[in-house]
Amino acid sequence: MEPKAVQPAVTAAEMRALEAQAVAAGATWRGLMERAGQGVTAVALHMLRGTKVPVVVLVGPGNNGGDGLVVADELAATGLPVTVYLWHRVPQDNDWPWQAVVEHALPAYDAAEDQGYAQLKQLLHGAGLVVDGLLGSGVNRPLPADLQMLIMLINNTRACPLLAIDLPTGINADTGAAEGAALQADVTAATGRLKWGHLRGTGQQAAGRVEIVPIGIDEPKGVDHE
């Protein structure tokens, strides 16, 4: 039996090209997000090893936040008590992952309405797992002050494992540098491919153990790796 080929690391731009190629070949953006969320959910369940502990899912404004909402819904479907905590995500009618969370009546809080992050502190003290779906590979500039405060609070308050979706929030996907504060993950579920940020700089330590979650993409022709 031949050994399984190891996929090379990619940049954020290369990852976007892989996803676009998959969609051009017949996949859908929703399908890619669903597969990513389901794969991350499998990693989370393996980490929990059957324990029914409260889970806090941190949700940001972009696709990483969408992945987080899928994970929240999937984990809740297994009977786990799941709470969603939103940062700069404005719920809209066309936000289908958010609508699934609403349909299944998952408790949700918004950081903008959480004075002194009192609610988040309470959630973190009772959590058995925190899932980071804030920014992922979308970080390429210094983080805003409110997010840096949120990250430092989470790092200093949580007493349970943290699972990052794709990359810990605050880590540059290409350089591995911390763009200010960065979440410290115990496990990172890299969606689709390993990113250079998992292997470089602060990202090596912040990512913890990295597990690659397949989402159904192929290597595009003409992509040169470092």
CATH number at residue 171: 3.40.50.10260
Each residue's pLDDT tens digit, 194-206: 999 999 999 999 9
Per-residue confidence (pLDDT) for residue 83, from 0 to 100: 98
Residue 104 domain-assigned? Answer: yes
Cβ(74)–Cβ(37) below 8 Å: yes
State mean pLDDT over 120-140: 93
Decide if 96 is inside a domain: yes
Q: How confident is the model at residue 1 (pLDDT cuts 50, 70, 90)?
A: very low
Is the residue at 222 inside a domain? no
Distance CA 22, CA 154 (A): 35
- Residue 176 falls inside a structural domain: yes
User: Dihedral angle at the C-alpha atoms of 21, 24, 30, 33, nearest 10 degrees?
Assistant: -10
CB atoms within 10 A of CB 177: 16
SS3 of 43-67? HHHHHHCCCCCCEEEEECCCHHHHH
Which are the contacts of 26, defined by CB distance < 8 A and separation ≥ 6? none
Encoding tokens for residue 174? 């290409």
Q: Evaluate whether residue 16 is within a structural domain.
A: no
The answer to the question of residue 226 being in a domain is no
In a domain, 18, yes or no: no
pTM of the predicted model, to two decimals? 0.92
When pLDDT is averaged across residues 123-134 and rounded to a whole number, the result is 97
* pLDDT tens digits, one per residue of 55-89: 999 999 989 999 999 999 999 999 999 999 999 99
How many domains, in total, are found in the chain? 1
Cα angle, residue 36 at apex, residues 34 and 41 outer, rounded to 5°: 95
Mean pLDDT of 123-135: 97
Domain that holds residue 68: 33-213
- What was the pLDDT predicted at 2? 38
Residue 93 pLDDT: 82
Beta partners for 164?
132, 188
Cα–Cα distance between 208 and 132 in angstroms, integer?
13
Q: Are strands 187-191 and 108-110 parallel, antiparallel or unpaired?
A: unpaired
Reply yes or no on whether the pLDDT at 226 is more than 90. Answer: no
Sign of CA dihedral 163, 5, 197, 109: negative
Residue 57 β-bridge partners:
84, 131
In-domain check, residue 67: yes
The pLDDT of 10-30, averaged and rounded, is: 93
Using CA of residue 52, residue 96, residue 163, residue 155, what is the dihedral sign?
A: negative
